[in-house]
């Protein structure tokens, strides 16, 4: 046998061995172990994977729906088999084939891998459940189902115009928005209305009108992002209190949800942009008892009837007296844990009786009217409600996090 004949025979032997291997065996080996040295051999390998994917998906659909538990389990198994981040077949192919591919084969492997990743979307939980729960979509070849919106080419088979259209996956409402709306709903039920104000705010509304003059050391409590010497990115939603008083006068029952900005270093509890909800009630005969009663009602509506509330004295320049509302720890029930630092209580918002000077700045006569106010951090509420330990997750736009809500 001449040398060149031998060279030709070796790949064929490999090809034969490869074709006898299961998909699991193949994906646990490198391309070198599999003897796949040419773009053709790579193409053939990936074609094998695609057809395995297709037939496993078809087998699942053909196996019938079963009851709901059985259905979800089957779907989860197939999804995990292919898409699990650790040990899923697609990940293994990434690790063993793509990452370890010799340089000259990388482009071919990369291209084929990307196509496979697109196709593998047809075994995600949502599309499988949709197909299992009936619908002619089950009859679509995976290639078509996976490339929603893309037209099947002539190669993928004839175009069947009787098939249902391709559905775009539905998004969901961001958890911060959900929590904000939940808070709004509770207060709307109490007769409050919603107000908003600008995020780029004047120093006057953000500080001076709230009884925080330039000389006041409390200005340093807010790590302010200045646009220029008279303009800031609002550090809290409290300036809307003044704007609303100016606009509507008293009596006034408002809620101001919105964004606030601070020059904080991002970490698990700080973000440069975050959300607050501000509340303000101004009327004749408003007392601290109204504040306590309303906030206790709100906290129990939001966190559940079992929680207890506690008010402790605090300081804010725009309220007098000022307080901090704490709730019994939602994680340990008040017994003491790492999250409540063994105190059994978690501080959830600042509040107090509106300072007469603030009423005056809003054009309201403090001799006639009094008021109470509060301000809370929405991300913080969402973190407590859903047991989330990193505020950054809300703002990274990672679908794997967001789709859980
Ligand atoms: N604006 C305060 C902050 O951002 C929160 C706050 C405290 C608002 C007490 C209020 C209040 O209306 O009464 O830290």
* pLDDT value for 94: 93
Which pLDDT value is given to residue 161?
Answer: 84
Residue 137: per-residue pLDDT: 43
- Model pLDDT, residue 313: 98
Atom of ligand 1 nearest to the CA of 318: 13
pTM of the model: 0.63
Ligand 1 midpoint to CA 241 (Å)? 10
Mean pLDDT, the chain, rounded, equals 88
Is ligand 1 within 6 A of the CB of residue 373?
yes
CA 302 – ligand 1 centroid, Å: 19
**Which protein residue's CA is at the shortest distance from atom 3 of ligand 1?**
236
pLDDT score for 139 = 45
What is the residue whose two structure tokens read 């950054």? 392
Which of these ranges, 3-7, 16-20, 193-197, has the smallest mean pLDDT? Answer: 3-7
Measure 176 CA to ligand 1 centroid, in angstroms: 19
Across 2-26, average pLDDT: 66
The pLDDT score that the predictor gives to residue 230 is 95
What proportion of the chain, given as a percentage, has pLDDT over 90? Answer: 63
pLDDT at 69 (0 to 100)? 82
Q: What is the pLDDT of residue 6?
A: 44
To test the ligand 1 pocket, which listed residue (187, 312, 316) has its Cβ within 8 A of the most ligand atoms?
A: 316
What is the greatest pairwise CA distance in the chain? 110
Please tell me the predicted confidence (pLDDT) of residue 65: 60
Nearest to 26 by CA among 123, 109, 92: 92
Q: What is the pLDDT of residue 356?
A: 98
Question: Which region among 36-50, 294-308, 384-398 has the lowest average model confidence (pLDDT)?
Answer: 36-50
Report the 10 Å Cβ neighbour count for 129. Answer: 17
Q: How far apart are the CA of 278 and the centre of ligand 1, in A? A: 7
- CA 10 to CA 17: how far, in whole Å? 11
* pLDDT for 123: 85
Atom in ligand 1 nearest the alpha carbon of residue 241: 12
Please indicate whether residue 348, judged by its CB atom, sits closer than 6 Å to ligand 1. no
- Segment 220-237 shows an average pLDDT of 92
Minimum-distance ligand 1 atom for the alpha carbon of 280: 12
Residue nearest to atom 5 of ligand 1 (CA): 375
How does pLDDT run across 59-76, given as a tens digit for each residue? 888 887 677 788 888 888
Q: Is the CB of 375 under 6 A from ligand 1?
A: yes
Ligand 1 atom at minimum distance from 235 CA: 4
Q: Is 261 in the pocket of ligand 1 (CB under 6 A)?
A: no
- 14-28, 252-266, 275-289, 341-355: range with lowest mean pLDDT: 14-28
Tell me which long-range contacts 394-400 makes (C-beta under 8 A, separation of at least 24): 394/174, 394/175, 394/176, 394/271, 395/271, 395/273
The answer, yes or no, to whether any atom of ligand 1 lies below 6 A from the CB of 352, is yes
Q: Of all atoms in ligand 1, which is nearest to the CA of residue 237?
A: 1
Q: What is the pLDDT of residues 356-368, one digit of tens each?
A: 999 999 999 999 9
Does ligand 1 come within 6 angstroms of the Cβ of 323?
no
Condensed to tens digits (0 to 9), the pLDDT of residues 173-213 reads 999 999 999 999 999 999 999 999 999 999 999 999 999 98
Q: Can you tell me the distance from the alpha carbon of 356 to that of 211, in angstroms, rounded to the nearest whole number?
A: 10
Q: How close is the Cα of 333 to the center of ligand 1, in Å?
A: 26
- Indicate the pLDDT class of residue 292, thresholds 50, 70 and 90: very high
Task: Band the pLDDT of 171: cuts 50, 70, 90.
Answer: confident
Distance CA 236, CA 278 (A): 9
Q: How far is the CA of 304 from the centre of ligand 1 (A)?
A: 23
Least confident of 13-27, 254-268, 323-337: 13-27
What per-residue confidence (pLDDT) applies to 122?
83
Q: How far is the CA of 235 from the centre of ligand 1 (A)?
A: 10
pLDDT at position 1 over 60: no
């Amino acid at each position: 046998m001449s040398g060149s004949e031998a060279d030709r025979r070796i790949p064929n032997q490999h090809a034969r061995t490869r074709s006898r291997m299961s998909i699991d065996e193949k994906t646990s080996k490198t391309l070198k172990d599999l003897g796949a040295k040419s773009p053709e051999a790579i193409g053939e390998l990936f074609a094998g994977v695609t057809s395995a994917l297709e037939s496993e998906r078809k087998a699942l659909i053909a196996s019938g729906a079963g009851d709901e538990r059985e259905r979800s389990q089957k779907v989860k198994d197939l999804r995990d088999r292919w898409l699990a981040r650790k040990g899923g077949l697609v990940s293994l192919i990434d690790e063993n084939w793509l990452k370890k591919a010799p340089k000259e084969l990388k482009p071919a492997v990369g291209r084929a891998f990307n196509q496979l990743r697109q196709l593998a979307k047809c075994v995600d939980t949502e599309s499988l459940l949709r197909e299992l729960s009936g619908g002619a979509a089950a009859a679509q070849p995976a290639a078509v189902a996976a490339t929603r919106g893309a037209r099947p080419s002539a190669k993928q088979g004839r175009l069947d115009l009787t098939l249902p259209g391709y559905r775009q996956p539905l998004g969901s409402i961001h958890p911060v928005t959900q929590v904000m709306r939940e808070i709004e709903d509770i207060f709307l039920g109490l007769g409050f209305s919603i107000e908003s104000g600008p995020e780029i705010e004047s120093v006057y509304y953000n500080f001076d009108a709230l009884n925080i003059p330039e000389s006041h050391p409390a200005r340093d409590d807010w790590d302010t992002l200045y646009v220029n010497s008279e303009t800031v990115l609002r550090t809290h939603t409290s300036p809307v209190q003044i704007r609303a008083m100016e606009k509507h006068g008293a009596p006034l029952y408002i809620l101001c949800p919105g964004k606030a900005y601070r020059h904080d270093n991002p970490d698990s509890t700080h973000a440069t942009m975050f959300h607050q909800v501000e509340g303000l009630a101004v009327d004749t005969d408003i007392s601290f008892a109204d504040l306590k009663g309303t906030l206790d009602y709100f906290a129990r509506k939001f966190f559940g009837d079992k929680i207890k509330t506690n008010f402790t004295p605090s300081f804010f320049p725009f309220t007098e007296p000022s307080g901090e509302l704490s709730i019994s720890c939602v994680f340990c029930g008040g017994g003491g844990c790492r999250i409540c630092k063994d105190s059994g209580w978690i501080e959830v918002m600042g509040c107090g009786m509106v300072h007469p000077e603030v009423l005056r700045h809003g054009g309201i006569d403090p001799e006639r009217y009094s008021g109470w106010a509060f301000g809370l951090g929405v991300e913080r509420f969402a973190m407590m409600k859903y047991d989330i330990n990193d505020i950054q997750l809300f703002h990274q736009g990672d679908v794997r996090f967001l789709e859980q809500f």
